[in-house]
Structures are given as structure tokens and as C-alpha cells.
Amino acid sequence: MLSKTGFYSAGSSMKDNDTKGQGSSPTPRQPIASGKLTKRFLLSLEKGLHLVSGVYDGTTRQTATPAFAEPVAPTEDREAQWQRIKAAFVDGRNCDVFENAEHHIEWKRHWDLPTG
């Protein structure tokens, strides 16, 4: 899902649980976009996508909680959302965009899986 402006670039394909080779675990859904969290980036996103900061707190990756994670607000509410982003100190930091919160959770579950 790209914005009408085409400002952000799409990430990996959104195929449901592709597998790579025999015996491998399913590949999690990938972010559909990643980039620096600027106001321009926020305004380029479609309403309803799930925006997640690249800044996490927690002691392990599995228990990590993003400093900011919300559905992208309707256009008329983006200024208030931008103020919440700034209040969380994640403006100008890396972020990921997912189709929905469940895709983010699925992606995060696979962070610590062995790669070989």
C-alpha cells in the first residue's frame, strides 16, 4: 500500500507466510515501509496503517515495547499525532510501517529466531 504521493518506498512483498526452502520457519510479514519519522513522512502515509518507532524499551527484543506505535490518524488529526510523536522523542528517528498491529507483532516474534 503506497500513499497517493508515492513518498515512501515499499518494503518486501506482503505475501502471506512465504517459506524459504525445506524445513524453514515461515517468513514473517515485513514492514511495508521504513524511514526516518518526519512530519513529511507521516503526512505521506495512508490512514489506518500501523506506524511503529524504531526506538524500543525493554530488556529483550521479545519484551521490547516501541516508544510510539499507533495507527496513522485521519488527515485532520495528523497534527495532534505529530505532537504525540514529538512528545515520545521519536521524531527524526527510524520507524517502520505495517499494514496493521498484528503484522508488527508477527514480525517482532521472529526477531530472535536463528538464521542458519
Predicted pLDDT at 23: 44
- pLDDT tens figures, 6-19: 444 444 333 333 33
- Give me the pLDDT at residue 107, please: 87
49 assigned to some structural domain: yes
Partners of 94 in the β-ladder: 36
Residue 7: the pLDDT is 42
Domain annotation covers residue 50: yes
Whether residue 42 lies inside any domain: the answer is: yes
All residue ranges of the chain with pLDDT < 50 are 1-24, 114-116
Q: Tell me if residue 13 falls in helix, strand or coil.
A: coil
Q: 45 in a domain, yes or no?
A: yes
Reduced to 3 states (helix: H, G, I; strand: E, B; else coil), residue 69 is: strand
* pLDDT confidence of residue 26: 57
Residue 13 forms part of a structural domain: no
Residue 52, in any domain of the structure = yes
Q: Residue 84 sits in which domain range?
A: 33-109
- pLDDT value for 108: 84
CA 5 to chain centre: 19
Does residue 16 lie within any of the structural domains? no
pLDDT for 69? 96
- The total domain count for the chain is 1
Q: Are 31 and 96 within 8 A, CB to CB?
A: yes
Is residue 14 one of the residues assigned to a domain? Answer: no
